[in-house]
Structure 1
Amino acid sequence: MSTGRVTFIAVSPHVSDSLSWRATRAIAEADVVIWTGGTVSDGVLRHAPDHADVVIDDNGATHSLLPFYDLASRDGFRVIHIRSDDSTRWDTLFDHVDRCGELGLPTELIRC
């Protein structure tokens, strides 16, 4: 069984198709792609593989995303959490990272 992981990608709310290589690769390897905090870019989501579940969550509250982190921990899924709000709310992001740490999930942060 593969080890699950969660990658947080912080993008500008005005992002078009231009992502870093690391961000594009992470999305391409995802089992679940979650987009929170702003306008969804089809150009970014086109990097997700066909088998990936795409979840649009306007709120992005930790409690609403816990099932995805649990799934990553239990079943080895790769979860990508794309945040595109105007000012990334670091306190909320750290809540997510802390929860992943409690589950033993490695995390990564990519800024675009």
Structure 2
Amino acid sequence: MSGKVWIVGAGPGAPDLLTLRAARAIESADVLIWTDSLVNPQLAAMAPEGCERIRTSTLTLEEVMDCMLDRVKAGLKVVRLHDGDTCLYSALNEQLCRLIDADIEVEVVPGLSAYQATAAALSSELTIPGLVQTIVIGRAGGRTGVPESESLERLAALKASLCLYLSARHVEEVQAELLKHYPAETPVAIGYRVSWPDQWLSVIPLKDMARISQERQLIRTTLYLVSPALAAPGEPRSKLYSASHNHLFRGGID
């Protein structure tokens, strides 16, 4: 007999930012394997009474997979709960490979990402016509490195809305690289534990990014949004809603 594995994105932290599909998966789990170092404990508490809850902060990926395979082969519904979204820095691929090799049925449930929650908390749009139309998600090289073609230098050269994860430990190097491509006054949103009760969120000039991060002693669970779109709202607007713009559902005004 074999059960099923749900790999679920928990979102940035706040329980009410969990998707309905994710909530239903947690609420019906026989086994919850959750990233307790990053996921809000309130989400783990949503699992039913009698659900086995396995914390992963002290486990290797191999140990996590052994737990998962053992329970699912016993016919149990296993929910693997990750912080954020499953498609970003979640080790999804490694887990899928093991599960598929074991002929285990898997369903992946996306979650809201921290960059989206941060932009929403600031009432900001990261793509503004005539100003910036591209969002780039990346990280500093750090210990694990990044491909040369995706170096911070190359990403910053686009001058897009740049969302940097896992980069607070290297903030001095990050700021120095960004200043080669963005003006020193470019707005940078620094978000710490966005959507949690102890959230700290501030928009500062790029030139102050390292200093403020170090003053706040930010090392983990910190996101940087670097974008001219974070400046005060101005005139640029989407053509989609312009009276002069034709599209499939609305004729324009000549």
Aligning the two structures, in what range does the TM-score lie when normalised by the shorter sequence? 0.7 to 0.9
Counterpart residue number, 1:17: 15
Within 5 A, what are the aligned runs for 1:22-37? 22-36=21-35
SS in 2 for 1:27: helix
Deviations 1:33-91 (A, max 9, x none): 1112743313212220111111111266430112222223421111111111698325x
The 3-state SS of whatever aligns with 2:14 is: coil
Match for residue 88 of structure 1?
Answer: 88
Partner of 1:107: 106
C-alpha RMSD of matched pairs (Å):
2.4
Greater mean alpha carbon deviation, residues 71-80 or residues 35-44? 35-44
Task: State how 1:10-89 maps to structure 2 within 5 Å.
Answer: 10-12=9-11, 14-18=12-16, 19-36=18-35, 38-58=37-57, 61-84=60-83, 88-89=88-89
Q: Sequence identity, in percent?
A: 22
Provide the secondary structure at the position in 2 that maps to 1:8.
Answer: strand
User: Aligned residue pairs: how many?
Assistant: 109
Shift of 1:30: 0.9
Bigger radius of gyration:
2
Q: Measure the CA separation in 1 of the matches of 2:68 and 2:44.
A: 20
Kept after mapping to 2: 8 A contact 1:6/1:81? yes
Whole-Å Cα distance in 2 between the matches of residues 101 and 107 of structure 1?
Answer: 8
Q: Secondary structure of 2:50's partner?
A: coil
Q: Which amino acid aligns with 2:15?
A: D
Please, what TM-score do these two structures have when normalized by structure 1? Answer: 0.80
Equivalent pair of 1:36/1:60 in contact (CA under 8 Å): no
- In structure 2, C-alpha distance between the alignment counterparts of 1:88 and 1:54, rounded to whole Å: 23
